[in-house]
A and B are shown apart, each in its own frame.
Chain A
Amino acid sequence: MKALPLILFALISLAQWAVPLSQIFRYEQTLSKGTLIRLKCSAPDPYDPLRGRYLAVRPDQDDVAIAKSAKLHRGQHAYATLKTGTDGLTVLDELQAEPPASGDFVRVTVRWESEGKAHIEWPFDRFYLNEALAPEADKWFAESIRGSKGVIAEVRVHHGTAVLENLTFDGKSFREILKQRVN
Chain B
Amino acid sequence: MNASHHRWLHDQLPQWERDSLVTAENAAMLRHRHPVDDSQPGVAQLIMGALGALLIGAGLIAVIGYNWDDFTRPVRLLFAFLPLLSSQVFSSIVLRKGDSVAAWVRETAAMLQTMATGACIALVSQIYHLGGQWPDFLFAWLLLSLPLVWLLRSTSVAIFYLIAIAEWSIHQCDLGKVWHHSPLIYPLLLLGLFPFWPGLRLDKPLSVTLRWIMAWSAVFGLGAAAYFATQQHFDRSWGHEEVFFALGAFTAAAITLFPLSPNALAAPSRHKPQIVLGFLYLLVFGITNTFLESGDDIVKGYAAAAKMPWAWVLIAAAAMFAFQALRTHRWAVLAVSSITLVPLVGLVFGTNASAAIPWLMTLHLLALGITLIVLEFSGRRGAPRLGAALLSILLIARMCESDLSLLAKGLAFIVIGVAFLIFNMFMGRLKARLTHPQP
Interface residues of A (CB under 8 A from B): 2, 5-6, 8-9, 12-13, 15-17, 19-20, 23-24, 27, 48-54, 57, 73-76, 122-131, 133, 163-164, 175
Contacts and interface: CB of A to CB of B under 8 A. Distances in A.
A16 B122 contact: no
B67 interface: yes
Contacts of B121: 19-20, 23
A17 B82 CA distance: 11
Most buried by B among A20, A125, A126: A20
Interface in B124-176: 124-131, 137, 140, 144, 147-148, 150-151, 174-176
B384 to A, nearest CB: 48
Given A131-B67, A163-B129, A6 B92 contact: yes
Nearest to A31: B128
B271 to A, nearest CB: 30
Given A19-B121, A20-B120, A12 B151 contact: yes
Interface in B268-310: none
Given A17-B84, A50-B65, A124-B130, A9 B122 contact: no
B66 A130 contact: yes
B88 interface: yes
Nearest to A121: B131
Interface in B66-119: 66-69, 77, 80-81, 84, 88, 91-92, 95-96, 98, 113, 117-118
Given A19-B140, A52-B64, A75 B174 contact: yes
Most buried by B among A2, A12, A124: A12
B81 A51 contact: no
A53 B92 contact: no
- Judged by DSSP, the binding face of A is mixed
Contacts of B125: 23, 51
Most buried by B among A9, A53, A74: A9
A57 B131 CA distance: 9
B61 interface: yes
B151 to A, nearest CB: 5
Nearest to A165: B129
B329 interface: no
B192 to A, nearest CB: 13
Contacts of B129: 54, 57, 124, 126-128, 163-164
Contacts of A175: 69
Nearest to B129: A164
B85 to A, nearest CB: 8
Given A23-B125, A51-B64, A163-B128, A9 B176 contact: no
B178 interface: yes
A16 B175 CA distance: 31
A19 B144 contact: yes
Given A12-B147, A50-B65, A76-B176, A124 B126 contact: no
A9 B69 contact: no
A75 B237 CA distance: 14
Contact of B131 (A13, A16, A124): A124
Contacts of A57: 129
A51 B122 contact: yes
25 contacts: A2-B98, A5-B95, A6-B95, A9-B92, A12-B144, A16-B88, A16-B117, A19-B144, A20-B120, A20-B121, A23-B128, A27-B128, A50-B118, A51-B122, A51-B125, A52-B66, A74-B175, A75-B178, A76-B176, A124-B130, A126-B130, A126-B131, A128-B127, A131-B66, A163-B128
Given A8-B147, A12-B144, A15-B144, A53 B67 contact: yes
A99 B67 CA distance: 35
Most buried by B among A2, A23, A53, A175: A23
